[in-house]
Structure formats: structure tokens, C-alpha cells
A and B are shown apart, each in its own frame.
With several copies, the nearest count.
Chain A
């Protein structure tokens, strides 16, 4: 990370996870992906949002895993869920049904309007790097009441033009999304290892709205492939508290232990 001060005693992932967790509220219905979003949502649940409702696209509704899943469909998610439904139902009745407050998305690339690429680097037919693809993202991006994007900032990931639009943010900005018929309000935050970007009113272009204590706005601008606007009233994000870090590290440790437990198949 291009931090301009001494690196703090927590990792960029930890800072991002804590920042994302703080954005979730008690009772919030959250459509969670694997990795950092899952860690953030569960951290929120363990701290200030015990009534948060976690939905994974594998079909688990209201799940309360003790350890983080490695995959979107680990057994832990089903065993601790309030309901386990078929996957087509998740997408039709729960996501498209407009019942999701917050959808979390990652990507390989984001542009200034919060559009995301998780499909391909290079031309689609002649890929330089073929990525896993869109998965649930296009419809999470369309239907969740708001979307939080989590992505480390660099000129390679924060690009002027996506190689491929896997899921729509504000499209070309300036109200284009609303005209497209997408029901949700779109991406409302991009959480990076420098801080948080928010869409500006009117243009809907993302600007740096908050930075971590140990980074500068100038460094964030440098790590962005487009001329990043910095908000006049740039907020500073409080560092992780001891409580937050402890809870997160305990969760990660439990997860680590669970995932390295050997599996015994039936004879």
C-alpha cells in the first residue's frame, strides 16, 4: 500500500473490513459475498448489529455462522440459517423481490461511475486474463437498495474505462442508471485501502469522501486511474478499535482452525 506514513499495526484488509462493518446497521438485510464482505457482515453482527440479516446467494437466509465460509455454500451457512431455500428463489423472490438493503460487491476493475468488471481483462474474445465472471453481481447491482463495493485502490483496478461491464453502477452517470430501469439506488460507497469513495450528487462520479488516518488524499489520487475528485470536507476514518480488531482476529482465527481440520470421508 502506498501509505505515506508509517504503516499501522493492522492490515489493509482489516481496516477495510472494519470500515465496511461500520456501515451496516442492526436489522439491515445484507446480501453477502465471500471474502471481505462476508467478514465485514459477520463482524458487524458480532459487534453492533446482532439483528443483521445475512443472505448468501447459495440460498441461506438469516445465517449466523460461527466461522467464516470459504465458499458461498459451506455447510456452516445452512446449519445456522433461519431458512435454506432453492437458489432460483433467492434471486427471484429475495433479490429481485426488492428485499435487500445492502449488497456487497468486489471486482477486478471499477470505473468512476461505480461500474464493475469481474469478467475479463483484455478483449472478451481474446482475453488477456479470463476472470471468474459476473456470478450474482449484475442483479445484486441492479436490485439491492444500495451497493457497497470493496476493492483495493490502484491505477490497474480504478480505471478510466472498464474492459467489460459485468455489473452496472451509475452507467454513464448523470441519471443514466435511473433511466435504465434498475430499481436499486446503485453503489453508494467504494471501500478501498485508502478510504471511502462516494458518488457526487448530479454527476454520480465517485469522489474520495473519507480517508484513513495514516494515508493522504494525494496518495489516493495517485492510486486512481482517473482524475479522482477529493471532497472539500474530506472525513477521516477512525482507526479500528481494540474491540473491533479483537473480534475480527478471533473470527479469522476460528475460521483458520476450522478450515484446516482434516476431512474424513465415509467408507
Chain B
């Protein structure tokens, strides 16, 4: 399990057309990795994420994706994910197929993926129109009660990308705080890339802490601040002000494109991205 640069991790492991899940439920969202995918101009991705918020607004607006599997897409606590909306509503910058679930359905699909079961099961989608627009939502009959239960096909992304607080030099990863479906998405994937705030000698995991052992991790990159504007418990808080500011940036195609050009495509890497943000007076 090598510790590499983020540039190399994305170059080596994310291919055009791959199914890619960047997970992290508000906390520990791998923004730097998403931006590196934009920077390396990946195309035709099937993006998977429970809550496609700013990170996928950026990737979809920048034209990386042809398909989105999700359960809630917006700017949490602020409003719309404007780029995702325009992709769905107007096909800009390209059409976006969607595969839409509820949170409970997505969670069950990741759990099934991690357990290498072909499907997940829940008492869900009752009385909703979601099964009518998503043919992947089906049902099984309970062999004991005869009850019908909803099913979702397992999610097994080609690549899952996570951000975590810490890795040790062997590549064991510790996650602490709000967990989302990160562990399940990580274990469901064919390849698992992790960006971390720091690489340490001793992982210092507490008993029953959430650890991804080195032998399930494909590559690690040390990217302090890599979850900004989301947060990394113990390192920095959520930059709520940026989430609010993003609403204006993303609302307009031109302004969005200029932002991506200036900060992402126009910089060499995440260090360059942060330097330019700082130069422009954005706290980063």
C-alpha cells in the first residue's frame, strides 16, 4: 500500500468511464481528490455518492460525468446544487443520466457491496414514485412472512475515494467522527484511494475505532486540508461561509467556469489551488 502524491493516485487509478464514489457525509469529503479528477480532465465517469453536494457540483459542472447515482443532491443547508441541476434540467455541459435512491436505499446498496452480496434489502420506498423512475429498485418476498421488501442492487464502485484524519506508514487508516457510509463504500470498491490529513508513526486508534487496514487500501496521499470546505474532525471545522458563497459562484455558468479555470484547471495541484485561494483572500 504505497503512499503517493494525489496527482499520481488519480493518474494511476481513475480511468475515463470508471464508476467512482467519493464518499463522506458532510464530514471528510474528499474535495481535493475531486478537484484533481477535474484537473486531470477525466470524462464519462459514473459518479456515485449519497449526497452529491459541492464536490460533485464541481465535477459535474466541469464535465467529468455521464451518470450519477445518488439519494440527495443539493448544497446542504443552503439550497440547490446549481451545476447538478443544470446538467439534469438542461444537459449542460452534457446530459447526465441519473439513478436515484433514498438514503436508506443507497446505504443498503453500499452495505451489500461491502458484503459482496448481489443486493441489499430494506423496508423502504413504500408508497413513493421512486421505483417507477428507477427500475433498479425491485423487491423480494420474505420466505417466512410473505411480505414484500424493497431491494437495491449492490454498489461496487471501480474506485472509492475517501478522506480521513490519519494514516500510519504501513497505510492503515483511521476515521473519527461522523462516518457516513465511508467504510462501506470503501470496502465495496475494487480500488480504494484515501487522502489523509497526516501520516504518523503510530495510528493511535482507540479500541473499537474505525480503521481501514492497509491491505484493503490501494493508495494513500497525504493532503492536509483536502476535505475543505467540508471538515476533518480534530483538524479544522466546516467552512460554512464557503458553502454559502458557493451558491453565487455556481448559480451562473460563466462564473462557475471561471472559478474552475482559475482555481482548479489553472493550478498545478492542491498546493497551487490553496495558494491561489489565499492570494484571493479566501480562507484556505
Contacts and interface: CB of A to CB of B under 8 A. Distances in A.
Direct contact of A and B (CB under 8 A): yes
A181 B80 CA distance: 33
B197 interface: yes
Contacts of B27: 58, 73, 75, 78
Contacts of A261: 237
Q: Is the interface of A mostly helix, strand, loop or mixed?
A: loop
B200 interface: no
A133 B243 CA distance: 19
B147 interface: yes
Contacts, number: 250
A155 B80 CA distance: 22
A169 B76 CA distance: 24
Nearest to A265: B225
Interface residues of A, number: 77
Given A70-B238, A136-B104, A87 B177 contact: no
Contact of A72 (B25, B172, B210, B240): B25
B249 interface: no
Contacts of B184: 86, 88, 93
- Which of A29, A69, A70 is most buried by chain B, counting CB atoms within 10 A of its CB? A70
Nearest to B134: A124
B89 A127 contact: yes
Interface string B224-261: 11001101010111111111000000000000000000
Given A87-B179, A127-B88, A181-B147, A133 B213 contact: no
Given A34-B76, A53-B213, A265-B225, A82 B172 contact: yes
A74 B71 contact: no
Contact of B127 (A53, A58, A73, A115): A115
Contacts of B209: 83
Interface stretch (B4-12, B34-42, B113-121): B113-121
B103 A259 contact: no
A165 B129 contact: yes
A123 to B, nearest CB: 10
Contact of A71 (B73, B76, B242): B76
A136 B74 contact: no
Given A84-B178, A93-B187, A130-B85, A74 B128 contact: no
Contact-residue size bin, chain B (C-beta under 8 Å from the other chain):
35 or more
Interface in A17-60: 27, 29, 34-35, 53, 57-60
Nearest to A176: B127
B283 A265 contact: yes
A78 B207 contact: yes
B110 A74 contact: no
A132 B239 contact: no
A197 interface: no
Interface string B48-82: 00110000000000000000001111101110110
Interface stretch (A3-11, A94-102, A206-214, A237-245): A94-102
A73 B233 contact: no
Contacts of A263: 228-229, 236-239, 241-242, 283-284
Interface stretch (A137-145, A218-226, A228-236): A137-145
A135 interface: yes
A135 B103 contact: yes
A183 interface: yes
Nearest to B177: A78
Contact of B100 (A86, A133, A136): A133
Given A70-B243, A75-B27, A265-B224, A84 B127 contact: no
- Which of B116, B225, B228, B283 is most buried by chain A, counting CB atoms within 10 A of its CB? B116
A165 B133 contact: no
B20 interface: no
B225 A266 contact: yes
Contacts of B240: 70-71, 74, 259-260
A191 interface: no
A56 to B, nearest CB: 9
Contacts of A169: 127
Interface of A: 27, 29, 34-35, 53, 57-62, 69-75, 77-79, 82-88, 91-93, 95-99, 115, 119, 124-125, 127-139, 141-143, 164-169, 171, 177, 180-183, 259-267
7 contacts: A70-B78, A83-B205, A98-B116, A259-B240, A263-B284, A265-B224, A265-B274
In the A-B complex, list the 9 residue pairs whose CB atoms are closest, starting with the nearest.
A73-B26, A168-B127, A132-B74, A135-B72, A71-B76, A70-B77, A88-B107, A83-B211, A92-B115
